[in-house]
């Protein structure tokens, strides 16, 4: 038995995440005591961990925990010539392999570290936030959500057959997470991969085989829907990205000179029930979901991101999601 219930709240996030800042501002206004740990810092590796870790240890028990964002540390070549003996030519020849080994070692520790904390309420449980996009799509389809036709292949002939089944065309997107990286200094630019249409001409010029890639049918989009799910409730927004050619395939190609029109939106009750069921099966109590409303009446499910941005839904639609999250973490409700 614990001597007393813990009072502090623990938030794992990253530096420079405005949504986290705003939630913590609300928690402070409500009188909550919290600790924030930015997971893109190296603080974890400065904390010595001795096993076994008691679940009753004071530094492991909190009133609530929010796994807002879990970010790996910047990629490093942990092994280099300076760490190896002069005779270790085999190591020198296989440094990439051994660096991957060290990364696996660190991941095993991180998995244990994050799951060693205890709380009465956990928002975005750590063991559930590392999603496999393909597993999610398959599960969504199995419970009745409309999922676009999807193909994963490395053969042009198979892609050609798939294209023949998709009257609106074919798009390509990441199999896993989106890629972001910064260019070299001094004129640093940020690069990212976006959803792209794969034209018939592109298919004809492809080699017979290529790297494993994901293709989906292109939908005749009317508008996009971003839904923020929190403890059984859906807060949705329509994004009229089709009004701008730049954002028509992927609204993340944002055009500040001609912003997309945004509007409050209510999902049909049947879709909200399916989303709640999907999130329950995934073990998630919060996350951002993307859907598409087509011109012929389909409402297609695209993906769920446990750490997706919600400020873009909260502010335009006046949902006050930051306050709702703070209230849930402190009081166990969203009021």
Q: Could you tell me what percent of the chain has a pLDDT over 70?
A: 77
Predicted local confidence at residue 255, as pLDDT: 56
Please state the pTM of the whole predicted model: 0.86
- Give me the domains of the chain, ranges plus CATH numbers: 8-126 (3.40.50), 149-217 (no CATH), 221-305 (3.30.470.20)
19 vs 22: CA distance, rounded Å: 5
**Strand 170-173 relative to strand 209-217, pairing:** antiparallel
**Strand 261-265 relative to strand 233-240, pairing:** antiparallel
Alpha-carbon dihedral sign for residues 194, 150, 219, 130? negative
Question: Predicted confidence band at 94 (pLDDT cuts at 50, 70, 90)?
Answer: confident
pLDDT of 123 above 60: yes
pLDDT of 87 above 50: no
pLDDT of 300 above 90: yes
| Segment holding 271, helix H or strand E | helix 269-282
Q: pLDDT tens, 163-186?
A: 999 999 999 999 987 666 666 766
- Shortest CA distance to 294 belongs to which of 87, 178, 148? 148
Predicted local confidence at residue 1, as pLDDT: 43
**Contact 34/92 with Cβ under 8 angstroms?**
no
CA dihedral 195, 212, 129, 15 (to 10 degrees): -60
41 vs 159: CA distance, rounded Å: 42
Q: Cα–Cα distances in Å, from 36 out to 41, 55, 64, 84, 124?
A: 12, 20, 12, 37, 15
């Amino acid at each position: 038995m614990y001597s007393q219930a813990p009072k502090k709240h623990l938030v794992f996030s990253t530096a420079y995440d405005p949504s986290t800042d705003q939630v913590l501002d609300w928690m402070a206004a409500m009188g909550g005591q919290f600790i924030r740990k930015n997971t893109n810092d190296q603080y974890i590796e400065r904390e010595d961990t001795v096993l076994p870790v008691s679940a009753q240890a004071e530094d492991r028990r909190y009133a609530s925990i929010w796994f807002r964002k879990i970010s790996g540390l910047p990629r490093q070549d942990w092994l280099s010539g300076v760490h190896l003996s002069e005779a270790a030519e085999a190591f020198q020849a296989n440094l990439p392999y051994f660096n991957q080994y060290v990364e696996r070692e660190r991941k095993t520790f991180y998995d244990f570290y994050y799951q060693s904390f205890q709380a009465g309420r956990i928002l975005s449980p750590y063991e559930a936030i590392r999603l496999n996009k393909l597993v999610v799509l398959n599960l969504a389809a199995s419970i009745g959500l409309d999922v676009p036709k999807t193909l994963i292949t490395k053969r042009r002939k198979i892609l050609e057959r798939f294209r023949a089944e998709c009257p609106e065309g074919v798009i390509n997107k990441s199999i896993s997470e989106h890629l972001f990286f910064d260019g070299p200094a001094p004129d640093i630019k940020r690069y990212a991969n976006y959803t792209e249409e794969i034209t018939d001409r592109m298919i004809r010029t492809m080699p017979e085989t290529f790297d494993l890639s994901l293709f989906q049918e292109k939908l005749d989009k009317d508008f996009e829907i971003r839904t923020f799910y929190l403890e059984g409730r859906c807060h949705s927004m329509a994004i009229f990205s089709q009004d701008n050619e730049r954002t028509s395939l992927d609204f993340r190609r944002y055009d500040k000179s001609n912003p997309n029109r945004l509007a409050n939106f209510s999902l049909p009750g049947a879709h909200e029930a399916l989303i709640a069921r999907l999130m329950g099966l995934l073990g998630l109590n919060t996350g951002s979901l993307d859907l598409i409303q087509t011109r012929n009446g389909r409402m297609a499910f695209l993906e769920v991101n446990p750490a997706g941005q919600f400020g873009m839904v909260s502010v335009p639609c006046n949902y006050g999601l930051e306050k709702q999250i703070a209230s849930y973490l402190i009081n166990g409700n969203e009021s």
